[in-house]
Amino acid sequence: MSTEQRRVLHGTSLSPGLAEGPVYLYKHLSGLTDLPVNIETKQIDEEYFNLDKATLKISDDLELLAAKVEEEIDSKLAEVFVAHQMIINDSYLRKELRKEISLNLINASSAVKVVMLRWEQRFLLMESQIARDKGDDIHELSNRLQNALAGITLHPLEEVPRNCILVTSRLMPSDTIFLAERSSLAILLEHGSSASHAALFAREMALPCIAGIPDLLKSVKSTSWALVDSDCGNVTFCPAEEDKVAFRKKVRIKEQSLSRAREEARGPALTKDGVRINVHANTSCLTDSRQAIRNGADGIGLFRMEMLYMARKTAPDSQELFQQIKDIIKVFNNKHVYIRLLDVGADKQIPFMDFLVEINPALGQRGIRYLLRYPKLLETQLRALLLLSLEFDVRILIPMVTVADDALRVKETLHKLAAELQVLKIPKLGAMIETPAAALQAVSISEYVDFMSFGTNDLTQYVFAADRENVMVDQYFDDSADAIFRLLKMTHEDLPHMPLSLCGELAGRPEQIARVLQCGITSLSVATPLIPLIKEAIRKLSLTASHG
């Protein structure tokens, strides 16, 4: 019998913190179905039956989805699901799938994989973009069918047990929503970059997270116990008794100093020369909000609406959005709450919007571009926010603004809906400055907005042409480079009276705060666990001294 050996592995810390507990290994499903599963002749009818049942299920789901999307978002989008439904019921496809099962004696799932890959490749080789898009539709349908055949209705991460250390290869932004409710203790990844959404999520949830641990999945067993020290980027599997004693001592010391910092964070953050800097929280769920209040947040500086869409099968309507947001923000009473309109596209895909197929999605229909293409989606959100503004100090943030027209169109829609709903006091509207173009032409954008907030995560991605999710280009992704500060400073010089805030990860680095404040930024929004640290850093600074 082999017993597991004590082992210390190193990686890059994406989110600091200490945690200890049992390991849960999460392997992606795709690897499990690589080899075709053979059947005997007598099982052919059973596989036909399974195939028909799964097809019917998917077809019904798609019909429901199309109806809901048509009602709540856009009829153009609904057409995509109608088209998917037609493909899945195509008699030629059905014949080919049956033939694959009977001739090659493989089960329905293997047949779906083989046949639909063949179809997909045929489309992907075609000249026209429309045909190539169809290839992606087939890919999507293939996954749906394979999942239905495997009886998978849950997202696999919904099965992660509570209070464990999740060990996996990588996390997609849409995975994180399933983790939000699972109360994991820490996350260990083979791959992951510091500006990825999974990393932001971990920081916001105060979940220690270490990435870049090669062959992690191969070298760890589900039975292991682990000590995760994400302050140093180390993890000890199967620790010795002395490791545990030393680790627990470190945890106690850290908890004591954190509770002191929290105590002090309750008050406002004033620089030595008396300038008040608001320190807001980045939140997207109730857990964040509660923690934000405990940590002394002056309000919410960035409410990412994506989380409200990611966990669902269809888009919420205004009333649902209103209620869900209200539940999350109500602990803030009369404090500022900056809510960002849905920012989807590129690395942030929503399950029921996964038909977005673009060759270069980071430069495609992201954020406001997507919302302007599907005005019903925008209007649903604005209605909910207008209703919320009757009870809260809500401010609206527009994601991924590049030109003034983006802001103008939102402003016009907001005013139109306010008139319809008879909301007299229109909430303040702000532009996220997260593309170089927005910073460079902030003056023209300023005509339509009341404030601006720098999203330095995307700004850095676009300034350095370095994908924030791609570890291979991490060395180019430097959000505290001179190039970034130059854009911040220039925007302030061009618009000295425009209220400027910063809600990218840069705002959460104590050592950068002096430089950030010198760029005229008067409010910061950070992951909730960082609020006490950032307030502490502000109190040590003098703006007049740093200007001099």
Residues 6+ apart with CB under 8 A from 546: 514, 517, 518
Q: Are 376 and 73 in contact (CB under 8 A)?
A: yes
The whole-angstrom separation of Cα 427 and Cα 389 is: 6
Coil, helix or strand for 543? Answer: helix
Q: Which is nearer to ligand PEP, 149 or 377 (CB)?
A: 377
Give the phi and the psi of residue 211 in degrees, each rounded to 5: -125, 175
Taking CB under 5 A as the rule, which mask of x and - marks residues 463-482 in contact with Mg ion? --------------------
51 touches, from ligand PEP, Mg ion, none (C-beta below 5 to 8 Å by class): none
- Least Cβ distance, residue 71 to ligand PEP (angstroms): 28
- Least Cβ distance, residue 204 to ligand PEP (angstroms): 10
* Extended beta strands in 183-229, E state: 186-189, 209-211, 225-229
Assigned token pair, 20: 């200890």
- Least Cβ distance, residue 12 to ligand PEP (angstroms): 19
The whole-angstrom separation of Cα 342 and Cα 315 is: 11
End-to-end CA distance of the chain: 69
Residues 6+ apart with CB under 8 A from 82: 62, 66
Give one DSSP letter per residue of 289-331, joined into a string: HHHHHHTT-SEEEEEETHHHHHT-SS---HHHHHHHHHHHHGG
Q: Does 523 bind ligand PEP (CB under 6 A)?
A: no
Q: Which is nearer to Mg ion, 386 or 400 (CB)?
A: 400
Q: Does 467 bind ligand PEP (CB under 6 A)?
A: no
Nearest residue to ligand PEP, scored by beta-carbon proximity: 455
Q: Which is nearer to ligand PEP, 220 or 400 (CB)?
A: 400
DSSP 6: P
Q: Are 327 and 366 in contact (CB under 8 A)?
A: no
- Least Cβ distance, residue 479 to ligand PEP (angstroms): 8
Q: Which is nearer to Mg ion, 213 or 400 (CB)?
A: 400
Taking CB under 6 A as the rule, which mask of x and - marks residues 485-504 in contact with ligand PEP? ------------------xx
Assigned token pair, 366: 């992201």
456 touches, from ligand PEP, Mg ion, none (C-beta below 5 to 8 Å by class): ligand PEP
- Binding-site residue total for ligand PEP (CB under 6 A)? 11
Please list every residue from 402 through 461 that binds Mg ion, using CB under 5 A.
434, 455, 458
* Extended beta strands in 154-224, E state: 165-168, 186-189, 209-211
72 touches, from ligand PEP, Mg ion, none (C-beta below 5 to 8 Å by class): none
Q: Which stretch binds ligand PEP (CB under 6 A): 54-62, 176-184, 307-315, 451-459?
A: 451-459
Q: Which stretch binds ligand PEP (CB under 6 A): 106-114, 138-146, 248-256, 454-462?
A: 454-462
233 touches, from ligand PEP, Mg ion, none (C-beta below 5 to 8 Å by class): none
304 touches, from ligand PEP, Mg ion, none (C-beta below 5 to 8 Å by class): ligand PEP
Q: Which of 100, 175, 379, 434 binds ligand PEP (CB under 6 A)?
A: 434
Q: Which is nearer to ligand PEP, 149 or 305 (CB)?
A: 305
120 touches, from ligand PEP, Mg ion, none (C-beta below 5 to 8 Å by class): none
Q: Which stretch binds ligand PEP (CB under 6 A): 6-14, 244-252, 293-301, 449-457?
A: 449-457
Q: Which of 458, 467, 469, 474 binds ligand PEP (CB under 6 A)?
A: 458
135 touches, from Mg ion, ligand PEP, none (C-beta below 5 to 8 Å by class): none
Q: Across the beta sheet with 209-211, what order do the strands follow?
A: 7-10, 234-237, 225-229, 18-26, 165-168, 186-189, 209-211, 12-15
504 touches, from ligand PEP, Mg ion, none (C-beta below 5 to 8 Å by class): ligand PEP
Q: Are 335 and 525 in contact (CB under 8 A)?
A: no
503 touches, from Mg ion, ligand PEP, none (C-beta below 5 to 8 Å by class): ligand PEP
Q: Which is nearer to ligand PEP, 192 or 504 (CB)?
A: 504
39 touches, from Mg ion, ligand PEP, none (C-beta below 5 to 8 Å by class): none
The whole-angstrom separation of Cα 148 and Cα 82 is: 19
Please list every residue from 163 through 202 that binds ligand PEP, using CB under 6 A.
200
Please list every residue from 67 through 126 that binds ligand PEP, using CB under 6 A.
none
Give the length of the chain: 548
282: Cα within 13 Å, side-chain hemisphere: 27
Q: Which is nearer to Mg ion, 137 or 288 (CB)?
A: 288
- Least Cβ distance, residue 457 to Mg ion (angstroms): 5
The whole-angstrom separation of Cα 270 and Cα 263 is: 16
Q: Are 111 and 48 in contact (CB under 8 A)?
A: no
Q: Which stretch binds ligand PEP (CB under 6 A): 2-10, 181-189, 330-338, 455-463?
A: 455-463
Give the phi and the psi of residue 153 in degrees, each rounded to 5: -115, -20
Please list every residue from 331 through 360 that binds ligand PEP, using CB under 6 A.
343
Q: Nearest CA to 315 among 357, 361, 353, 343? A: 353
Q: SS3 letters for 96-154?
A: HHHHHHHHHCECHHHHHHHHHHHHHHHHHCCCCHHHHHHHHHHHHHHHHHHHHHCCCCC
Q: Which is nearer to ligand PEP, 180 or 423 (CB)?
A: 180
Please list every residue from 291 through 330 that binds ligand PEP, using CB under 6 A.
302, 304
In sign, the C-alpha dihedral spanning 102, 104, 106, 109 is negative
Q: Are 39 and 47 in contact (CB under 8 A)?
A: yes
Which residues of the shown chain bind ligand PEP in the complex (CB under 6 A)?
200, 302, 304, 343, 434, 455-458, 503-504
Which residues are near Mg ion by CB under 5 A? 434, 455, 458
